[in-house]
Amino acid sequence: MKQHDNIEALFERLEGQFDTKSAPEGHNARFMQRLNKEQPMSSGMPKIAYWKIVSAFAAVITLAFLLTGVFDPTATEAEGLASVSPEMAQTQEFFNTAINTELERLSSFESEAAKVLINDAMLQMETLEQEYLKLQDDLVESGNDKRVIHAMINNFQNRIDLLQHVISTIEGIELINQSNTDESTI
């Protein structure tokens, strides 16, 4: 109780020295008005550097991805058909090479009509990619079921067929456009 006694002694010693006068009427309102003129309040919340919040959020997201293994480069190499056998790994590599080749051919077209067809094809490719990812999960769950492997191979073939169809359509459109411009210049 010594602290309590010290506080009481302090108050006894300072008794009569406290300012007990009240502020004049309207003082508080005038003070707040002046304060707001000099430094307006935005919304009652202190100003915070938003870049600090954004960078902290980005750091948390990156950490979460790293901890869940999303950025694990070794995890993607043994997924899909490659996880079944060395022959299936070669098959997957063949299809990926063929798809990349067709994508390069597709990107060489620059006309407006081609861009519309290319964008549509890329949306369809994304759908096929999502289906393939589901098939990868099914493959793991089924223990390398041949039906799932067959569906994965069909998915690769569908992608190649789609790209080849779009390329031939674009080439046909460009051939027609070229022949029309050749006839109009004659």
Report the Cα–Cα distance between both ends of the chain, in Å, rounded: 112
Q: Is the dihedral of CA 99, 100, 104, 105 positive or negative?
A: negative
The confidence score (pLDDT) of residue 161 equals 94
Residues 93-112: what's their mean pLDDT?
88
Q: Where are the alpha helices (DSSP H) in 15-49?
A: 27-38
User: Would the pLDDT of 186 be above 60?
Assistant: no
The confidence score (pLDDT) of residue 29 equals 81
The confidence score (pLDDT) of residue 76 equals 39
Report the range of poorest mean pLDDT among 11-20, 112-121, 164-173: 11-20
The C-alpha atoms of residue 82 and residue 92 are separated, in whole angstroms, by: 6
185 to 22, 157, 178, 180: CA distances (angstroms): 97, 42, 11, 9
The confidence score (pLDDT) of residue 126 equals 93
The confidence score (pLDDT) of residue 78 equals 47
Q: What angle do CA 153, 159, 165 make, to 5 degrees?
A: 135
Percent of the chain scoring above 90 in pLDDT: 23
Buried b (16+ CB within 10 A) or exposed e, 91-110: bbeebeebbeebbeebeebe
pTM to 2 decimal places: 0.55
